[in-house]
Amino acid sequence: MKLLFVYLWAPFANLLWYTHTVVMGSLSLLVWPFDRTGNKQFWCARWWCRLVAWSIFARIRVHGVEHVRPDRPYVYMANHSSLIDTPALFAYLPHPFRIMAKRGLFYVPFMGWHLWTAGHFPIDRGNAAKMVASLRQVIEGVKHGRSLAVFPEGTRSPDGKLQKFQPGVFKIALKAGVPIVPVTIWGTFDLLPKTTLAPRPGHVDVILGEPIDTTDYDDKRVSELITRTREVIQQTLDAERPPRNQPQRRSG
């Protein structure tokens, strides 16, 4: 019966996903002239993604928000096994951040308009020179106080297991001189794996680890930084999942 409900509800859930995008994307554009920092638009994105989560009956909890401060930038690095991962981060990470996305997405109606005006980072993959220029803009943005959230695996895991981490995003944190926050997302693969578009209801935990100081590393030691970050996330995945009745601090 539960599986039948999943497949009957899936078309409505996906329709609501697009509806929320149109409504909240429009609202984001309306508030943009009143705050060019993008922070008000971040709150639009936060509620946008909470609506998405609620429409698919994903109950998301965040843990470890005491590890990060609102007055400094970080590079949040999270495991990636589902389309729900990005809404989970936007909905419940405690402080504003930006993402990187291929430039083509910035021209998609509503979502792309939000990405442009909210100060997210377009990545131009047309050629090596344009890619380098795009990454320089990301580094400068992080240096000047914009936190960044990335998936170092580069793509969704096909089986929910942690994949190899790509070094490029770690070099951004190194060159910007900001800490890395390991983020473990637990439960999204069970809700919406890569092989389906029919989301299942369930619980998701987003666990923020203690920041890793990148000033202890350089380009020659980037592999050590990758190993340390990946080990924190893997150890959290291997540990006992936080119980649902455990007290937790939740962002607004």
204, 86 Cβ separation under 8 angstroms? no
Cα 3 to Cα 108: distance, rounded to the nearest angstrom = 33
- The pLDDT assigned to 32 comes to 87
Mean pLDDT of 90-106: 93
Q: Which of 214, 202, 216, 193 is nearest to 73 (CA)?
A: 214
Q: Which pTM value belongs to this model?
A: 0.91
> Quick check: is 247 in a domain?
no
Highest mean pLDDT among 7-11, 75-79, 105-109, 154-158: 75-79
CB atoms within 10 A of CB 187: 21
> Quick check: is 86 in a domain?
yes
> Quick check: is 167 in a domain?
yes
Cα 91 to Cα 24: distance, rounded to the nearest angstrom = 13
Bridging pattern class, strands 202-208 and 75-78:
unpaired
Domains contained in the chain, number: 1
- The pLDDT assigned to 247 comes to 47
Instruction: Please indicate whether residue 156 or residue 219 has the higher confidence score (pLDDT).
Output: 156
> Quick check: is 11 in a domain?
yes
Residue 163 has pLDDT above 80, yes or no: yes
Helix, strand, or coil here: 158? coil
- Look up the CATH number of the domain holding residue 224: 3.40.1130
Range of the domain at 212: 2-238
> Quick check: is 250 in a domain?
no
Residue 243 has pLDDT above 90, yes or no: no
> Quick check: is 230 in a domain?
yes
> Quick check: is 111 in a domain?
yes
> Quick check: is 139 in a domain?
yes
Q: With pLDDT > 70 as the criterion, what percentage of the chain qualifies?
A: 94
